[in-house]
A and B are shown apart, each in its own frame.
Chain A
Amino acid sequence: MERIPILRIGDLLLVTIQVDMHDRLAMTLQDDLTERIVRDRAKGVLIDISALDLVDSFIGRMISNTAAMARVLDAQTVLVGMQPAVAITLVELGLTLPGVKTALNVEKGMKLLGKNYV
């Protein structure tokens, strides 16, 4: 079964989404991520979507939900690497993802979480 890898960097977790999302994959990701946040005592989660050219309302909601779950487990989520076209589409769809922090790339995302690893 395909999975999205979750990488650990210090007390951060890095999730890079590179494939098309579907229900099962999203569920697996949320299971794995919450599991890892608890196990690794992670303080921050970076979700990198720079490889996605297309984000629909499903993925948008999935990201919002994941961020909310992480917040319950006391981890900050930062969404990084959104493409301009994706940003415009999401805004037109009315999905402005309130409550999710954003950054231009992984490096800036880490800075935002107060962890300067670079």
Chain B
Amino acid sequence: MSNNIVAQRLSALITQHEASLLSAWTAELASKTFRSDEASVQRHTRQFLALLPAAIATGGTEDINHRNWDEVRNLLNEISSQRAKQGSTPNETATFVFALKQSLFAMLRGELGQDATLLAEASWAVSTVLDQLGLYTVEVFQKSRDQIIVRQQHELMELSTPVVKLWHDILALPLIGTLDSARSQVVMESLLEKVVETGAAIAIIDITGVPTVDTLVAQHLMKTIAAARLMGADCIISGIRPQIAQTIVHLGVNLEDVVTKATLADAFVVALDRVGATISRKG
């Protein structure tokens, strides 16, 4: 029996039993603690069952990447990305499709019970399609999560690199979090832009918030300092914790050409001295 005939028959059966399938499916979803609001489940299941027969009839059951499956896939895209944003698990997302299996099989058994061959063929077709659709939802879910992560990384990067003006001609760059290549690039760019903008002569790079300093981080710092120097601004590194001082020496990192201070306050005094200002106590 050709696949096409099975697909046509299947499509016709789904259309015929749409109402009963819908209620069985939603009941199944409800029993599987499918976290979602009633209204959107109702809407999504109805839309899905409305689109499914046409897609099976025209697109076949072998490959859901077929052009005629576009509408079904678009619907699943929407459902999965929405669930990803709401924080569902991939399991829950895939359950949406897989929960339809039981009701479909029950329907097929009732209709085609007397024709064993056709029943087997149809069951196989249903199984193939739903498996593919289920996997597809997981894939889309994963992609949406990845997008969310990328966006958050971006936001984090913008948050974590402020350049503040401490005094005339003095900038401070409090670094918080691990310095990787991408971040140090952003740090370097924002520092240099600020140097041009304010005409600062000295920048204090405070690394109190940097958890570890390895050779790579040190290299990034040296590059930033070298670039600032090329633009005529000197840098002071401050906020070096005792453990970090030990690590730097053990790693053999050469910070001899750079002024280093233990605290931001010490660095600030040095910077003020360089620009010809002093702080004094009243009275």
| Residue A47 lies at the interface, judged by CB distance under 8 Å to chain B | no
In the complex, whether B59 has a CB less than 8 A from a CB of chain A is: no
Other-chain contact of B196, A88, A91, A96, A104 (Cβ < 8 Å): A104
A84 lies within 8 A of B192 (CB):
yes
- B198-219 contacts to A, CB under 8 A, are 199, 201
B199 near A104: Cβ-Cβ < 8 Å: yes
| CB <8 Å contact, A90 and B230 | yes
B residues less than 8 Å from A91 (CB atoms): 188, 223, 226-227, 230
Given contacts A104-B195, A104-B196, A108-B199, contact A84 B231 (CB under 8 A): yes
B226 contact set on A, CB distance < 8 A: 91, 96
Given A104-B195, A104-B196, A87-B230 contact (CB < 8 Å):
yes
Size of interface on A: residues with Cβ below 8 Å to B: 19
Closest CB in chain B relative to A59 CB, distance in Å: 13
Please, how many angstroms separate the alpha-carbon atoms of A69 and B151 in the complex? 51
Contact A102-B199, Cβ < 8 Å, known A84-B189, A84-B193: no
A87 engages B201 (CB within 8 Å): no
**A92 to chain B: closest residue by CB:** B223
Which residues of B sit under 8 angstroms from A105, Cβ to Cβ? Answer: 199, 232
Q: Are B231 and A97 in contact (CB under 8 A)?
A: no
Q: Which of A80, A86, A102 has the most chain B CB within a 10 Å cutoff?
A: A102
Once A and B bind, how many residue pairs between them come within 8 Å at the CB atom? Answer: 54
Residues of A within 8 A of B104 (CB): none
Say yes or no: A82 contacts B231, CB within 8 Å: yes
Residues of A within 8 A of B188 (CB): 88, 91
A103 at the interface (CB under 8 A from B): yes
* Of listed B201, B231, B233, residue having the most chain A CB within 10 A: B231
Say yes or no: B199 contacts A96, CB within 8 Å.
Answer: no
Residues of A within 8 A of B231 (CB): 82, 84, 87, 102, 104
Assess whether B229 is interfacial by the CB under 8 Å rule. yes
Q: Which residues 161-217 of B have a CB within 8 angstroms of A?
A: 185, 188-189, 192-193, 195-196, 199, 201
Q: How far is the CA of A87 from the CA of B224 in the complex (A)?
A: 9
Contact in complex: B232, A88 (CB < 8 Å):
no
Interchain nearest-CB distance for A104 vs B (Å)? 4
B199 to chain A, nearest CB (A): 6
Least Cβ–Cβ distance between B184 and chain A, in angstroms: 11
Q: Known: A84-B193, A87-B192. Is A102-B227 also a contact (CB below 8 A)?
A: no
Interface contact B230-A97, CB-CB below 8 Å: yes
A residues contacting B by CB (< 8 A) are: 79-80, 82, 84, 86-88, 90-92, 96-97, 102-105, 108-109, 112
Q: Which residues of B contact A (CB under 8 A)?
A: 185, 188-189, 192-193, 195-196, 199, 201, 223, 226-233
Given A90-B227, A102-B230, A104-B233, output 16 extra A-B contacts at Cβ < 8 Å: A82-B231, A84-B192, A84-B195, A84-B196, A84-B231, A86-B230, A87-B192, A87-B230, A87-B231, A88-B189, A96-B229, A96-B230, A97-B230, A102-B232, A108-B201, A108-B232
21 A-B pairs whose Cβ atoms sit less than 8 Å apart in the complex: A79-B230, A82-B231, A84-B192, A84-B193, A84-B195, A84-B227, A84-B231, A86-B230, A87-B227, A87-B230, A88-B188, A91-B223, A92-B223, A96-B229, A102-B232, A103-B232, A104-B196, A104-B199, A104-B233, A105-B199, A105-B232
